Amino acid sequence: MTAEPVVLIIGAGADNLQHEGELNAALVKVAQALKKSGYQTHLIDNNPFNVAPELPAVIDHYSVAAPTVANLTRAIEQLQPAALLPTLGGRAALQVTERLATSGILNKYGVKIMGMPVATIRQVNNPSVLNQTLKQIGATTKKIAPVTTYADARDLVDEIGFPVVVRSVVPQAGSLRRIVHDYHELQLAVSTAIQHSPSHQAMVQQSLAGLKEIEVVVARDQSGMMMQLAMVEDLDPIGIHAGDSVAVLPTQTLLDRQIQDMRDVAFKITRKLRVVGINHVQFALNQLTGQFYVIKNSPYFDRLATFVEQATGYPVARVYGHLVAGKLLRDIRLDHGLAKHTAAMEPVLDRTAIRLPVFANDQLGVQNKELTTEKQSVGSVLGLGRSLLEALLKALGELHPDFYALADLGDEELDQLLIHPRPNRLLPVFEAIRRGYLTSELSELTKLDQYYLDQFKRLTELENRLLQAPKDRAALTAAKYWGFSDRLIGQLWQCSVTELRALRQEWQIHRTFKEVDPSAGELAQHPGTYYATFEMENESQPVAKPRVLLLGAGPRTLGNGVANDYLLTRVAAEFKRQGYAVVVVEDNPNSALLNRAVATKCYLEPRDYERVAAIMALERPDYLVSLACPFTAELPLVKAGTTRALALPPASLTAPVAHEVRYQYNVFFDGHYTYPLGITRLLLTPAGIKTEFAPDLPAGLGQTLTQAGEAAVSPELAPGLYQVEGQLIDGQLAIQPIHQPAPWMLVFLSQVTGLDLAAVWVRLALQKFSVRLLTAAMQGQRRQATRLEALFPYAALHLNRSTRLSEMMGARLEIE
């Protein structure tokens, strides 16, 4: 019998500012498709928060190692895989793949690259070469060239004029991208870019700042058949990083001719580069002249692909997995309620989707951080609605509970926020409209399309209607239809959410749920994902009993939000294993929870009291699971005792320290007995934070800490996972009060002990805990030293700051 061919998947590495979990979420679906196509999957990655290796029937073999050239070379020599998949590892994976191809290791072992030929990878890694290829097919591009000296840069600028964008070629840290407007700025930017480039080169390119940014996602199979999966319009103009902009699907302001022309060019590029899978093409459009430029081509998975998947209902990741495995679009058979030949049909929307960036500037204490071509956002949130306003208000509602926070801002300060955009830039725009700014005037100040400003004016008109008619039925009906939350209306009417809920009940103003269907209702498709609106027909019916409602972790934040998502995914998997239908409420488009291998049913909705209460009223779950959600005890079904609320341990926040070593005794307590999980050492320094499992300990410290930990666990504690910390002060071990470890620590402990602690927690909650199974599992614990190194966004954001656990962005795992 012939063994299944192996595909070696290059992981994305630690989560950072450039990717926020979308690659790991896509990996689950792509790997499942590869396995259905007859491949064994082998992943090489060192991200402890990548959940794919932990889910059944996803990853066959997992190597915990950084996805470097050296580690991949060793893996190729040992495994001799049939194929290499680099497109789930971001831009860095393409750079590593080019170096592997250059070394000759791929040719030596006959390893094919999935998704595109190596010639395409070389072009993608070299913008100047790619520019030449694009010109050959008649695509208009911005002028761009690498330079090694300031004199070369000056000569180029003399030709194309200011402003220009300067960035490093393959930078060692951060994107180091700047828009410069004069020769003094140019000299500084080129010098900095060259210093941070391994090849000592800077890339200087024509600036298209102020033009409209359009993003197109194309799918292509190996026969050459192509289709457009989405055309997305960025609300912010060129000059603000696309990841920091508000993305809108479908496009709102384009002419049919413009749509068709950009679609044709995207197809030409994808065909010329021989991309198989998906291709993401970005355009800059001058709406005054109709001229558009190709500004970037990304033939790999990124955050836009996951946004398109959740917004359209089209299974982008699964289709992509089948395409790179060699299947044709017309031959792909999809499950989970999708109609035959769905893979070969372009998705159609009867709704509007918005992706809103999430920033951590307030948490980091960053002020006056103007939005530029360098990415600053740490996460994103999704809003779905029947209209642009409804989708936008959903996305804004969770991020900005105080919608009118700028009401006391002076006019001069407001003008500065309009002219120099900063994170959460829509709030000052709304405030300016409330103060009577003309939309034409605002368009000049902000460079936002006047169409959007006119839509925002409608929002303020609805606010005025509510203010003028307190507790009016018609005003309330209109406000709910356009997406106003009870909390927002309550701020205007100065009444409580409970009072508003009672009014809606009395006046029969109820939300309904619509399916996120890629055919917009034209075909009988039921993918099991829903969003809420205020219309007549409800398309969602309760899933079979027993069921659990699981509140997702929401958009990624510092602390580490991806670890929260990992933990909840493992919780969901265990509930399914125990026979429960898992209903997920989540508005993070990059969450691994939004996968039918994990969730039975999904609601793409904000995780606030109003929406959760409405979903619970429909689903009537047996359990409600969350990460320490503050309002669960107030939900009607929880108060009535119909639904039992379960809260996972909250993330612990740690103040900055100059230098500190902590020793931690980790233990599981079932209410009667303790089960030690091992000792970890946490080293905190201004430069970084590392956690080590099974470290070498000073003489007698392990026994002392263990005794202190055992003594701290008492019958008064609820069953669960606990941690006792000790710190050596003048040679004596000072013991801190017992507490629950943060989610990221639970993930780390699960991996180093070989215990699925999320599953243990679920079984304990369901009163199905088995001492015998836990003891048997503990006998197989890993005992070798394993380290987790926390990573932070400071370098990427150009911040000089001491490390804090509460600001962790990702981590690397090392096993000796």
Structure tokens at 165: 């964008």
Mean pLDDT along residues 355-376: 88
- CA nearest to 9, candidates 39, 54, 51, 48: 39
**In the predicted model, is pLDDT for residue 657 greater than 50?**
no
Instruction: Write out 364-407 in H/E/C secondary structure.
Output: HCCCCCCCCCCCCCCEEEEEEECCHHHHHHHHHHHHCCCCCCCC
Give residues with Cβ within 8 angstroms of 732, minimum separation 6: none
Q: How far apart are CA 669 and CA 671, in angstroms?
A: 6
What pLDDT is recorded for position 209? 87
**Is 409 exposed, middle or buried (CB count within 10 Å of its CB: 0-12, 13-18, 19+)?**
middle
Structure tokens at 452: 């959007």
Q: pLDDT for 230-250, tens place per residue?
A: 999 999 999 999 999 999 999
**In the predicted model, is pLDDT for residue 60 greater than 70?**
yes
Q: How far apart are CA 799 and CA 493, in angstroms?
A: 42
Quickly name the fold that domain 660-815 has: D-amino Acid Aminotransferase; Chain A, domain 1 (3.30.470)
Mean pLDDT along residues 380-407: 90
Pick the CATH number of 6-114 from 3.40.50.20, 3.40.50.300, 3.30.830.10, 1.10.3720.10: 3.40.50.20
- Cα 306 to the chain's mean position, in Å? 8
CB-based contact 486:501 (threshold 8 Å): yes
**In the predicted model, is pLDDT for residue 624 greater than 80?**
yes
Whole-number Cα distances in Å, 101 to 69, 197, 198, 414, 577: 10, 21, 19, 53, 43
Q: How far apart are CA 296 and CA 164, in angstroms?
A: 16
- CA nearest to 171, candidates 378, 374, 360: 374
What pLDDT is recorded for position 800? 85
Please tell me which residue, 98 or 760, carries the higher pLDDT value.
98
What pLDDT is recorded for position 738? 87
341-343-349 Cα angle (round to 5):
105
Confidence category of residue 548, pLDDT binned at 50, 70, 90: very high
* Helix orientation angle between 439-446 and 411-419, rounded to the nearest 10 degrees: 60
Percent of the chain with pLDDT over 90: 63
CB-based contact 682:772 (threshold 8 Å): no
Pick the CATH number of 143-206 from 3.30.1490.20, 3.30.56.10, 3.40.430.10, 3.40.50.300: 3.30.1490.20
- Amino acid at residue number 525: Q
Q: How far apart are CA 28 and CA 592, in angstroms?
A: 8
Q: How far apart are CA 622 and CA 540, in angstroms?
A: 18
Mean pLDDT along residues 452-463: 95
Mean pLDDT along residues 447-461: 95
Phi and psi for 44 in degrees, rounded to 5? Answer: -120, 120
Mean pLDDT along residues 744-767: 89
- Tell me whether domains 6-114 and 541-647 share a fold: yes
Q: Which residues pair with 548 in a beta bridge?
A: 582, 623
Mean pLDDT along residues 158-176: 77
Strands (E), 534-636: 547-551, 581-585, 601-603, 623-626
- CA nearest to 554, candidates 530, 586, 531, 529: 586
- Three-state SS at 193: helix
- Three-state SS at 169: coil
Confidence category of residue 143, pLDDT binned at 50, 70, 90: confident
Q: pLDDT for 211-229, tens place per residue?
A: 999 999 999 999 999 999 9
**Is 477 exposed, middle or buried (CB count within 10 Å of its CB: 0-12, 13-18, 19+)?**
middle
Question: Model-level pTM?
Answer: 0.92
Structure tokens at 386: 């029947």
Structure tokens at 801: 């700051």
Residue 348 has a CB neighbour count (10 Å cut-off) of: 16
Q: What is the DSSP string of 568-580?
A: HHHHHHHHHHTT-
Query: Which segments of 713-809 does DSSP mark as H helices, in order?
Result: 743-753, 757-765, 771-778
Mean pLDDT along residues 285-301: 93
HSE on the CB side for 440, CA within 13 Å? 0
570-576-581 Cα angle (round to 5):
125
Q: How far apart are CA 255 and CA 245, in angstroms?
A: 22
Percent of the chain with pLDDT over 70: 96
Phi and psi for 446 in degrees, rounded to 5? Answer: -105, -15
What pLDDT is recorded for position 652? 45
Task: Supply the mean pLDDT for the chain.
Answer: 90
Quickly name the fold that domain 541-647 has: Rossmann fold (3.40.50)
Q: How far apart are CA 592 and CA 612, in angstroms?
A: 20
**In the predicted model, is pLDDT for residue 579 greater than 90?**
yes
Mean pLDDT along residues 124-150: 89
Q: How far apart are CA 219 and CA 28, in angstroms?
A: 19
**In the predicted model, is pLDDT for residue 620 greater than 90?**
yes
Q: What is the phi-psi region of residue 336: left when phi exceeds 0, alpha when psi lies from -120 to 50, beta otherwise?
A: left
Structure tokens at 229: 């999966």
Placement of tokens 């001058």 in the chain:
286
**Domain range annotation of the chain:** 6-114, 143-206, 541-647, 660-815
Q: What is the phi-psi region of residue 730: left when phi exceeds 0, alpha when psi lies from -120 to 50, beta otherwise?
A: left
Residue 244 has a CB neighbour count (10 Å cut-off) of: 21
- Host H or E run for residue 515: strand 512-515
What pLDDT is recorded for position 653? 40
Mean pLDDT along residues 548-555: 95
